[in-house]
Amino acid sequence: MQESWTDSRLDDKFDQVDKRFDQVDHRFDQVDQRFDRVDKRFDRMDQRTDRLERRVDDLSRHMDERFDSQQREMNTRFDSIQRSLLQAAVALSASVLTTGAAIVATQI
């Protein structure tokens, strides 16, 4: 009698432990599923971040190319204006010298 009562009691304990283990296992499965969902979200966010980085790089490269072309255009314009001003200065200097020479020639 004592032995069957002990066996029954042990069986009950094992059943309780087994049920508890099943509960814990179920919770671990839930945690694992949640982890998988979160991991997928991180993967999607990484993909989005990569796409955004590529777009930013493309825009940056495009802006650099545009800036460089406008800088070249401005340099060309500046060089043209500088040459025009230099030619005007030379012409003005020549006319001043010519006028000065004419005044000196009339004074002699």
pTM of the complete model:
0.50
Q: Give residue limits of the domains in the chain.
A: 1-108
Taking only the tens place, the pLDDT of each residue in 22-57 is: 999 999 999 999 999 999 999 999 999 999 999 999
CA atoms within 13 A on the CB side of 83: 5
Q: What is the 3-state secondary structure (H, E, C) of the chain?
A: CHHHHHHHHHHHHHHHHHHHHHHHHHHHHHHHHHHHHHHHHHHHHHHHHHHHHHHHHHHHHHHHHHHHHHHHHHHHHHHHHHHHHHHHHHHHHHHHHHHHHHHHHHHC
Q: What is the per-residue pLDDT across 14-29, written as a single tens digit (0 to 9) for each? A: 899 999 999 999 999 9
